[in-house]
Structure 1
Amino acid sequence: MENVRNLLDQHDLRLVLLAIMICCMACLTTVSLNARVTATSGRSRLAWLVASALLFGFGVWSLHFVAMLAFMPGYAISYALVPTALSILAACSGAMIAFTIWHLARSAVIGILAGGTMLGLSIATMHVMGVVAMRGCGIISFDKPTICMALLSDVLFAMLALWRMRGPSLPRRLEAAFWLACAICVLHFTAMSALRFSSKPKMVTSELEAGSVLLALFVSIPSVAILVAFFALALLDKHMSLRTLQEIARLRQLSDATQEGLLIHRHGIIREINRALCERLGITPESVIGAPIASALGAQAAARLTREHHDPNQAIIIDANCRSGEAIPMEVTIRAITFDGEESEIIAMRDLSTQRRDEARIRYFAHHDPLTGLLNRFSLRRHLSEALAATRPSDTHIGLLFLDLDRFKAVNDLLGHAAGDALLVEIAERLAEAVGPTDIIARLGGDEFVILLKNIPDERPIVACAQAIQVSMTPPIVIDGRQIDIDVSMGGAIHPRDGLDADTLLRNADAALYAAKAEGRNRYRLFDAVLHLRLQRRMHLQSDMISAMKNGDMTLHYQPLLNCVSGRLEGYEALLRWYHPEYGAVSPMEFIPIAEETDAILLLGDFVLREACRQLETWPRSQRVAVNISPMQFRLDDLPDRVAQILRAHALEPHRLELEITEATLIQNPEKAGETIHALRKIGVKIALDDFGTGYSSLNYLHRFPVDRIKIDRSFTNDLEQDNARAIVRAIIALGHNLNIDVTAEGVETPDQLSFLRDNCCDQVQGFLLGRPEPLYPASKIDVSRKEMETLTDASGLT
């Protein structure tokens, strides 16, 4: 207490307070500058480090000498200039070393201990050098216990300051500055209380000395510099803080604008959360910031996020619990970041609810028909395979019933596809009511349905099911205010009698369906031995078709095309014929539909086109050949290029080739058909519209598509004895001539028909009366003279 009383008596308290104020400002500035060192890198970091060390050194030095000016021992004291200057250097260099150790230490503990010790020693060194610079106070001595206590307190306070200096928050900065000021002030005033002077002080005048006025001026310059630096740094720090806040606000706006949920936490405590995640979870930011993650996501999700080690490049799936109780699947990625100066983790969450719903819909539609909701072809085969695997042949059986709507295409064409879809939905509902509860209904596509009957004793349940379906379809179906009468044809097959595997059963049930249609529609039929033989023949024809083209079983026959007036031979129509080694002559009406069900129709079409052009090369240049083009072949994008290549290969003039297409070919894709026709006619190939008059929009096709010839269907030629047929044929011929389109009549078999066509100026005729399809005719045998044509006409009874 006596030392403290003496210390107070020997100091001017006003200057002491000034010294402490300068010290506090210097310490707070030093803490702020060190925060900038932590936040920057490279040269900027070094600059901030040097500035903090210099400012701290001047702060310690200013405190010491302003406080020494306040020291009044009762006699005059002066200071040696060289030790005084060296004391500044000691304070600055010591602070530089201490702060460098603290910033670069790999371990925070080592940085605090080593840096704090060095910082405390630099403060003590500066004080000792300042005391050594004192002159006029006699012999100076120290009270050793007091000096040791001062040095220990100085180092401990310096360590505390470095410990609390980490982190940019204002309370921590103030606390660190407080401990730093304590380290300086406690060291100075405790050490001053330990000073002992001799009773006879000697004035030393041989060294360079500075008076009190000069010293006051010298001390006040760095003090003012510290104040200016403090205020400048305060402004800079405020500016940086504002920029940081603006950046945080901008980042928050960006995070709120994103669709992903973002959450930042430190040790499981939420530091920040964006709007998207709050809205999805039904919470507010204020209710969860500062709370554990479990308060936002639920305990289980929080445990997975905080207890497990996560690869930042690999996402995990969690179920987050929202306030409504719904479990929301989330895809989560976690990365380490520095947030608000502290190591934290950012969790990015993507809501998988929509994706899961979409995946569920995809899985549903992978097994169900999107229009009717019935099982699709894939699911039917799966159920059928499972039923076959579980069925014992001696115990129970499996039945298949194929169902097809009669005249469905007509409904589609008349009322439109929307009405057709509504009709199919109603059919599906009626089927569900008609079949048994364990029966399985599937839609294969279009108007084709299949009923799978499991665990049946014999074929009687199949018959009963077919009859129930017929009854259910009896009432008319009302679509858009129109009543539609629907008939169905059905074909059934039973396992194991009609097939041991799924493919055989499906094929045989389909064969029974087509047999029912052939018998008059609105019927059902079960597969039997006759159908089995018919199906075997169909399979053999399908498998032998390709080889028949290669080994010569398929050949071209040619039917002549004659000028109706002159009787001059103008060309031939190439017709494909097949003589099978086992079945003999196979009608095109039989094998063409089989080929159209596979890609074989493309090979047949290419074969006919190439073979016809090869033989045309040997004919007189005045004759041409007509080749039928199938709808599938006509849809080929490269058909014009293929035709041009074949013509070039045989050096044929393009106008000698005429391609015949049907109205069915045009109706499938009118836009594409128009492009193909224009491309073919640009080559120079002639286009003929076959079977004219049998479609729904024949006149429309003549308007839309530039054809060179129309061929009157044989059904009109056969009915020329009837007034209506004659009127239609006259109209077609007149229409063609008015449009500058040649007209050919097919199926001419009697002189009367020929006479009528000639009298009405038909351009060209074709039929058995004039020549049957045969292998290549010699021109001398096929050329019919004008006189012979007149004889045929005179023999007819038509005028």
Structure 2
Amino acid sequence: MYRVFYCLTVEHDLRLVAVAALLCVVSALGAVATARRAIDVPAARRTAWLLVAGFVTGVGVWGTHFVSMLAYEAPFPVQYHLAGTVGSLGVAVFVISCGWTLAVRGRNVLTAPAGGALIGAGIATMHFMGIDAMDVGAAMQWDAGLVVAAIVLAMQFAAGAAMVMTRFPSRRGLFGAATLLTLGVVSLHFIAMGALTLVPSSAAAAVDAGLVATASAGSLKLLAVTVALAVVLVVGIGLFAAVLDQHLGARRRAEMLRMRTLADATFEGIAVVRDGVMQDMNSRFCELLQLNREDLVNMPINKLILEGDLPPAGSEDAVAAKCYLRRRDGTALSVQVRRRSMVFGQDPSDVFAFRDVSAEEHARARMTHLAHHDTLTGLPNRLKFRESLEAALQQAWQTDTMVGLICFDLDRFKEVNDVHGHAVGDDLLKAVADRMLDALPGTAIAARLSGDEFAVVLPDVADRNDAVAIAQRVVNSVGSPLTVGSLHLKVSASGGVTIFPLDGEDSDRLMNQADLALYRAKGLGRNQVCDFDPKLGQMMQERRLLETDLAMAIEDELLDLNFQPQARLGDGRIVGYEALVRWNDERRGPVPPSEFVQVAEETGLILKMGSWVLRAACREAVNWPESCRVAVNVSPAQFRQGNLVMSVQSALDASGLAPERLEIEITEGVLIDDEERALNVLRALKSLGVGLAIDDFGTGYSSLSYLRAFPFDKIKIDRSFMTGLHLDREAQIIVQATIDLARELGIRVVVEGVEDFEELEALGHQPDLVLQGYLLSRPLTRGQIAGFADQSDPLRQQIVECISGAARHRKKA
């Protein structure tokens, strides 16, 4: 160490040493900065920056070494061989460039220190080649230990500098690496120079050399400053280039980050493709495929295509193509693709924009499904069924086969809705649909047309008997008891069958024929299957004609009213009449009310007909004795759809009839659908002053609860309880209990359907009851009412004596 210290302090010009030290620091900073830039730039530019780093480092170290050698004050004149000196620079640049390349491009953790050690070896090589290029006119003797120490320290410090430079990109890491490289250069020079001893070879040579040295001492100092300035210029240019490129790179990165942020912010997946290989993509594209960017870069884009094709080149303005991409989990993603050509990274590329349309396709498929299927049961709806029927008929034409068409309808489904609510009705329809599908063959197409109406197409059916057997199997399956929630229900279905081409060839005609067969099945008692009979067409034609004629009769007021008397049993006094509508058609003659009233209810004509009955009954009743009331039955359709309160008020105002002389009769059906609305309507009628009666009492489901909830003045016990009353003890008990309950509630009672004295006697002594039935009188025409009181007086007295005798008989018993 003394020899090294002596070499530094005594054998060197300290002023030039200071210049060399400053030059070494600047050169180290430039070397590390340019090498670091080679790491940060893209791979395509890395080689150029590695060459710059090697050149800057080699020139800087060579300049530091050359100035340091000029600072060395040898005891003999010193001359430098140009070839050797310049050759040492070339070797330094080459070896150091290789070292930086190994340190920067290496993939292993040991490549950075190995590359740094190679840099140190290049510096050492350059140093000893430069000394060898010196001509001092003396022999050089070396201390081997110091030489090895110099080389080892140079390689260690350079290896440390490379490690710090590659692992710590911060400014602190940059200065640390430059410091270590500076220490490596300084330690190499001064330890190596301390290991050198010059031994004179001859006196003459020494004199000549001294003359050269003495003569060129000032020139050597000038040369040192010149070399230093040149090296500083070269290193400065390299350092400035590195800083400038770093600044420009930061701007480029900021711009790229901004562009990537914009690309990532889009709702579309974007991929940049060159020669069919993906170069880059945004995060949305990665999200769509559930893959990382590393997984997609350098992957052929066709590898992602499951189905369909990408747009061809030059299709920027064309309609977007559609294809399916493979996701990480193997599922297909439906996308819409557009393509555009552009320059990316100075190379022509294609940009593909992928828009996820799977949600749109799902929504479109859902809408299509809803447009063609019933939302409740999932079966095809009427539109889809007609398409399926047309397709089946077309196929049958081509294959010369038969097609069966079946229409089904649930029996008394409305009662389930009325009693248990629409939610239970919906569950029942779903259960019926499931049973229907289980009972049908696999080729059958079942659909729900509306409400409780279903239809089935049977392609390639064997014959009519086969279709009827299938329909009967469905009816039997539906008719089995089923459970809906906590309810145990028993429903039935009816079916109508028609066959293509035996019964017809047109789909509309076949549907009409199946409906006719279904109508016939219901008319035969329900829970049956009927096939089409040509006679049914005539029946339906007559039905349609009946509807037309009834509409004209209502419009022209060609209907009539009959009135059935009501008398009090206690004194036989006539208290009122019930208005009954009749129709005497010119062509048909008298049409039964059970026939035309049902048609009116099914077609909606009941609203006009009911309004006319109400007005006509009030006009007729205004001419009766004031003690007589008129009762008018209101249909459920009038109650639900018509403005009943306004119609009643209008009829009263137009006729001048006192409101208390009008009695509105309703059945339980108008109360079941919406009790709250029904209560509001009944209260409004009650506020007009009219009486309210519940008709057919005892045949519904909740009659007793209605007596408590609704403001009725009268109940009419259904005729089904009165027929054969004297023979049915249970019926007598029910009737008597009903009468007693009504009395306790202050409600009057009318007994309907009494046809003989035996049934009357079975009632016992009930003087406050009102009698209505054939025993008293059949319905009267308007002209018969005026003389009815006198003509019926003997009969009414006989009725009074009958119940009085029944009372005496019971007392004796």
TM-score (norm 1): 0.56
Q: Alpha-carbon deviation of 1:626?
A: 1.8
CA distance in 2: counterparts of 1:394 and 1:356, whole angstroms? 36
What residue number does 2:608 align with? 603
2:366: which partner in 1?
A: 361
1:649 equivalent in structure 2: 654
1:733·1:760 contact (CA, 8 Å) conserved in 2?
no
Partner of residue 665, structure 2: 660
> 1:383 pairs with 382, 388, 398, which one?
388
1:402 maps to 2:410? no
Are the equivalent residues in 2 in contact too, given 1:733–1:761 (CA < 8 A)?
no
Q: For residues 630 and 780 of structure 1, what CA distance do their matches in structure 2 show?
A: 28
Deviates more, 1:427-436 or 1:729-738: 427-436
Aligned to 1:220: none
Q: Is the 8 A contact 2:269 2:288 kept in 1?
A: no
Report if aligned partners of 2:273, 2:301 keep a CA contact under 8 Å in 1: no
Where in structure 2 are the equivalents of 1:613-762 lying within 5 Å? 613-636=618-641, 638-721=643-726, 722-754=728-760, 759-762=765-768
Aligned residues: 536
- Give the drift of 1:614: 3.3
Question: Highest Rg: 1 or 2?
Answer: 2
Give 1:667 shift. 1.0
Which residue of 2 is the match for residue 548 of structure 1? 553
Q: CA deviation at 1:772?
A: 1.7
Cα distance in structure 2, aligned partners of 1:614 and 1:482: 49
Residues 395 and 309 (structure 1 numbering): CA distance in 2 closer, same or farther, change over 3 Å? closer
AA aligned to 1:461 is: D
Deviation of the 1:632 alpha carbon: 1.6
Contact 1:555 1:576 in 2 (8 A): yes
Matched, 1:450 2:450: no
1:568 aligned onto 2:583: no
Offset at 1:692?
0.9
| 2:779 aligned residue | 773
User: Which residue of structure 2 lines up, in the alignment, with residue 794 of structure 1?
Assistant: 801
Q: SS of the residue aligned with 2:725?
A: coil
Q: Give the direction of change, closer, same or farther, for the CA distance of 1:737–1:358 in structure 2 (3 Å limit).
A: farther
Any idea what the Cα deviations from partners look like across 1:575-623, whole Å, max 9, x if unmatched? 1111223322111111222222222222222222232233334444443
Q: Which string of whole-angstrom CA distances, capped at 9 and with x for unpartnered residues, describes residues 266-288 of structure 1?
A: 9999999798x875564679999
> Helix, strand or coil for the counterpart of 1:380?
helix
Q: Taking structure 1 as reference, are residues 422 and 477 closer, same or farther at Cα in structure 2, changes over 3 Å only?
A: same
SS at match of 1:369: coil
Q: Secondary structure at the match of 2:600?
A: helix
* Alignment of structure 1 residues 160-179 onto 2, 5 Å: none
Measure, in 2, the Cα distance between the counterparts of 1:548 and 1:764.
34
How far apart, CA to CA, are the structure 2 residues paired with 1:641 and 1:274? 69
Question: For 1:462-494, what per-residue CA distance to the aligned partner results, in whole angstroms no more than 9, with x for missing partners?
Answer: 233234446656876565588766654332223
Q: Distance in 1 between matches of 2:321 and 2:617?
A: 66
Does 2:583 align with 1:578?
A: yes
The worse-fitting range, judged by mean Cα deviation, of 735-744 and 379-388 is: 379-388
What letter matches 1:556 in structure 2?
L
SS at 2:407's partner residue? strand
- Does the aligned pair in 1 maintain the 2:273–2:280 contact within 8 Å? no
Letter aligned with residue 519 of structure 1: L
C-alpha change, 1:441 and 1:541, in structure 2 (3 Å) is same
User: Where does 1:303-382 land on structure 2 (aligned, <5 Å)?
Assistant: 308=316, 321=325, 323-324=327-328, 352-382=357-387
The equivalent of 1:515 in structure 2 is 520
Q: Structure 1, residues 25-56: CA drift from partner, whole Å, max 9, x if none?
A: xxxxxxxxxxxxxxxxxxxxxxxxxxxxxxxx
Give the aligned residue type for 1:684: G
Describe how 1:503-542 pairs up with structure 2 within 5 A.
503-542=508-547
Contiguous gaps of at least 5 residues in structure 2: 1-250, 340-351, 808-813
Distance 1:701 1:566, change over 3 A: same
Q: 1:285 to 1:643 in 2, by over 3 A?
A: farther
Amino acid at match of 1:771: S
CA distance in 2, matches of 1:640, 1:305: 76
Aligned CA distance change for structure 1 residues 467 and 683 (closer, same or farther; 3 Å): closer
Listed one character per residue, the Cα deviations across residues 555-584 of structure 1 (whole Å, up to 9, x for unaligned) are 222212333333333332221111223322
Is residue 2:497 matched to residue 1:489? no
Q: 1:580 to 1:430 in 2, by over 3 A?
A: same
Structure 1 residue 443: Cα displacement: 2.6
Please give the alpha-carbon distance, in whole angstroms, between the structure 2 residues aligned to 1:265 and 1:430.
Answer: 53
Does the 8 A contact of 2:410 with 2:492 survive in 1? yes
Note closer, same or farther for the CA distance 1:266–1:593 as it changes in structure 2 (3 Å cut): same
Q: TM-score, normalised on structure 2?
A: 0.55
The more displaced of 670-679 and 436-445 is 436-445
Cα RMSD after superposing both structures:
4.8
* Contact 2:316/2:338, CA 8 A, preserved across alignment: no
Counterpart of 2:465 in structure 1 is 460
- Amino acid of the structure 2 residue aligned with 1:746: E
Preserved contact between residue 261 and residue 274 of structure 1 (Cα < 8 Å): no
Who is 1:110 aligned against? none
Given that 2:404 and 2:498 are in contact with CA atoms closer than 8 Å, whether structure 1 keeps it comes out as yes
Distance 1:456 1:264 in 2: 55
Give the drift of 1:304.
9.8
2: distance between equivalents of 1:373 and 1:488?
20
The answer on whether the counterparts of 1:556 and 1:612 sit within 8 Å (CA) in structure 2 is yes
Structure-1 residue corresponding to 2:139: none
Supply the distance in 1 between the matched residues of 2:525 and 2:639 (Cα, whole angstroms).
32
- Is the CA contact 1:330–1:349 (under 8 Å) kept in the aligned structure 2? yes
CA pair 557-356 structure 1, distance change in 2 beyond 3 A = farther
CA distances 1:369-396 after superposition (whole Å, capped 9, x unpaired): 3343332223223333444556559955
Q: 1:548 to 1:284 in 2, by over 3 A?
A: same
Pair 1:522–1:639, CA change in 2 (3 A):
closer
Give SS of 1:597's match.
Answer: helix
Aligned partner of 2:267 in structure 1 is 261
Q: Provide closer, same or farther for how the CA distance between residues 798 and 601 of structure 1 changes in structure 2, counting only shifts above 3 A.
A: same
Deviations 1:383-412 (A, max 9, x none): 334445565599554432233445656666
**Aligned residues of 1:755 and 1:793 also touching (Cα < 8 A):** no
* C-alpha deviation, 1:640, in angstroms: 2.0
1:759 aligned counterpart, secondary structure: coil
Aligned partner (choices 431, 439, 445) of residue 436 of structure 2: 431
Query: Is the 8 Å Cα contact of residues 658 and 685 (structure 1) preserved in structure 2?
Result: yes
User: Which string of whole-angstrom CA distances, capped at 9 and with x for unpartnered residues, describes residues 679-712 of structure 1?
Assistant: 2223333322111110111112222222222211
The AA in structure 2 aligned to 1:730 is Q
Structure 2 distance, partners of 1:568, 1:279, is 91
Greater CA deviation, 479-488 or 511-520? 479-488
Q: Distance in 2 between matches of 1:734 and 1:781?
A: 35
For residues 393 and 588 of structure 1, the distance between their equivalents in structure 2, rounded to whole angstroms, comes to 50
Deviation at 1:781, TM superposition (A): 1.8
**Deviation of residue 766 (structure 1)?**
1.5
Q: CA deviation at 1:502?
A: 3.5
Distance 1:624 1:399, change over 3 A: same
Q: Percent identity?
A: 40
Residue 270 of structure 2 contacts residue 354 of structure 2 at CA under 8 Å; is this kept in 1? Answer: no
Instruction: Compute the displacement of 1:658 (Å).
Output: 2.1
CA–CA separation in structure 2 for the residues paired with 1:742 and 1:485: 36
User: After superposition, where does 1:37-76 map in structure 2 within 5 Å?
Assistant: none
CA–CA distance in structure 2, aligned partners of residues 512 and 365 of structure 1: 30
